[in-house]
Structure 1
Amino acid sequence: MRIIFVGDVMGKIGIDTLSSYLPRIKATLHPQVTIVNGENASNGRGLKAEQFKAILAAGADVVTLGNHAWDQREVNELLKNNDNLLRPANFPGNNVPGSGMTVKQINQEKLAIINLQGRALMNPLDDPFTKADELLKELSDSEMHVFVDFHAETTSEKAALAYYLDGRVDGVVGTHTHVQTNDARILPKGTAFLSDVGMTGSYDGILGVKKSSSIQRFLTQRPTRYEIDDQGRGQINYCILDIGAKNKIRAAQINPDRPLSEL
């Protein structure tokens, strides 16, 4: 089974870049499942119905979220009514809208997709390690494939969860930091791991926001309103996972310095 996983879609330029490149990526690589993190799609903060529909129209089968999951009010209804939209499973409390896991039938195989959020340097959610254990216990089919989008800040927490789940899931890929890491590898017990898949959005901004906003923050050390960079050149960051008897993972980018022709 081949999975394409696309990193955090950031603002309108992220949607436009995804819509332009994802169909061509899929036509070349022929994935069975395409997963897209969309938690920054609505001007950098959360997801609205308009962006959710656009991400699906671009070719996503499942959309995951993260720490901005609740920034848009309408996401509550979206989560209740769409099993292909996930929020981190370890949000605390009862009656949390939606789910952090979905199971898809892919020809003769099944794939469970899990969305978790880290706690290091982030809001104090429930323990993602314990929540992962709980979710895996719910999966009765021992032959089921499992993919985890771990939305977390620190590479240490991402690596720790990946090693904790090594041999129990097929892949753990990090999101949130918006910079693709160069550590795609297979762990000792067979789990594919990448610390961060990167983002989809502005290539000339800083993590998707206007350079001036970020520079001003560092110059003054005062609160600055970040503005999404929705003009100029775009980029898409993603990874390809081939899961089966022997898992494989490869990180990939399309941007002005790595054009589509190099795909």
Structure 2
Amino acid sequence: MQFLFLGDVVGEMGIQLVEQYLPELKKEFKPQVTIVNGENTTKSGRGITQKLFKDLMKAGAGVVTLGNHAWNNQEIFTFINQTPNLLRPLNYPGTKVPGHGYATLNINGTQVAVINLQGRVFMETTDDPFAAIDRLVNQLHAKGIKVIFVDFHAETTSEKKAMALFLDGRVSAVVGTHTHVQTNDPQILTNGTAFLTDAGMTGPATGVIGMEYQPVIQKFLTARPNRFAVQTTGPGILSGCVVNINPQTGHAKKVQTILIDHDHPYHNV
């Protein structure tokens, strides 16, 4: 069973890259499940709208995950409760959090779960991600669900690796998002869980993780607040990964990164 995952989609250029390449990637890899992180899709790079969610779905996404910018666009509160395949982090605090932290899908008779989770190191305060996912994974296993894909939206490599080892053998894949920089460490852990520290981003390639670089440099130079804007010109980058999973055991068989940019042109286009 193939899972195709695309890292944080940033701004209009990110949407355009998804629309351009996702159909071709799906023809090549023939995934049963396609997941796209869409928390940076607005023009400001913060949050998502219903139209942008529909654009990602029309381009070929089956599930859209979010992260620390989930609530930055207020429109989300008007539709997230009625949109089960748009996921916000499972461990947001509170007893009445809008939306859904995970989704279950029936793929040719096999029940599959996709989970969105957020880290706490150098991030906004959330409930303990380890405790939250431990409870949920136990519940999913009790229902006989073995194929479980986790988008762990976190800042530090240590927290991401610790989460992957904590879940090794209990979930099929832990793929990191948030830093917008693809890491070169796709691996299958000892007990069968696929892990990638960060899938990278999909959007403008020449800015600072998707933002125009001049205001970012000025903030570093002056230590004063500055308004950031998503870069809208120049070359783009598309990053992600493909994970092959045994549907009987829920263990990963293979994980590989996807990278399309100026130096890595897509061979099928």
TM-score range, shorter chain: over 0.9
Change (3 A) 1:143 1:52: closer
**Does 244-253 or 168-177 show the bigger shift?**
244-253
- 1:261 counterpart SS class: coil
Indicate yes or no: 2:70 matched with 1:69: yes
Q: What does residue 23 of structure 2 align with?
A: 23
Deviation at 1:109, TM superposition (A): 1.1
Query: What is the identity, as a one-letter code, of the residue corresponding to 1:33?
Result: V
Give the match for residue 211 of structure 1.
213
Task: Please name the residue that 2:232 is paired with.
Answer: 230
Aligned residue number for residue 32 of structure 1: 32
C-alpha displacement of 1:220: 1.7
Tell me how far 1:142 sits from its aligned partner.
Answer: 3.0
Listed one character per residue, the Cα deviations across residues 61-95 of structure 1 (whole Å, up to 9, x for unaligned) are 00000000001111123210111100001001111
Tell me the secondary structure at the aligned position of residue 21 of structure 2. Answer: helix
Aligned counterpart, 1:189: 191
Show the counterpart of 1:261.
Answer: 267
* AA matched with 2:51: E
Q: State the one-letter code of the partner of 1:227.
A: A
- Once the two structures are TM-superposed, the CA of residue 143 in structure 1 deviates from its matched residue by 4.6
Which amino acid in structure 2 is aligned with residue 46 of structure 1? G
Structure 1 position 137, deviation (Å): 2.3
Query: TM-score of the superposition, structure 2-length normalised?
Result: 0.95
Segments of 4+ moved more than 2 angstroms: 140-144
Shift of 1:141: 3.0
- The alpha carbon displacement at 1:166 in A equals 0.4
* Residue 167 (structure 2) pairs with residue 161 (structure 1): no
Instruction: Tell me the percent identity.
Output: 49
Equivalent position SS for 2:210: coil
1:239 matched to which residue of 2?
241
Amino acid at match of 2:218: Q
| 1:105-120 correspondence runs (5 A) | 105-120=106-121
Other-structure match for 2:55: 54
User: Which amino acid is 2:25 matched to?
Assistant: I
Counterpart in the other structure of 2:82: 81
Determine whether 1:252 maps to 2:254.
no
> Per the alignment, in what secondary structure is the counterpart of residue 96 of structure 1?
coil
Gaps of 5+ in 2: none
What is the rounded CA distance, in whole Å, between the counterparts of 2:54 and 2:145 in structure 1? Answer: 32
Please name the residue that 2:135 is paired with: 134
Paired letter, 1:187: L
Any stretches of 5+ residues in structure 1 without a counterpart? none
Which residues of 2 match residues 133-152 of structure 1 at below 5 A? 133-139=134-140, 140-152=142-154
Q: Distance in 2 between matches of 1:188 and 1:142?
A: 22
Aligned-pair CA distance for 1:236: 0.6
Matching residue's letter, 1:177 = T
Q: Which residue of 2 aligns with 1:42?
A: 42
Contact 1:78 1:85 in 2 (8 A): no
- Residues 173 and 197, structure 1, Cα contact 8 Å, conserved in 2: yes
The one-letter amino acid of 1:10's match is V
Which amino acid is 1:180 matched to? Answer: Q
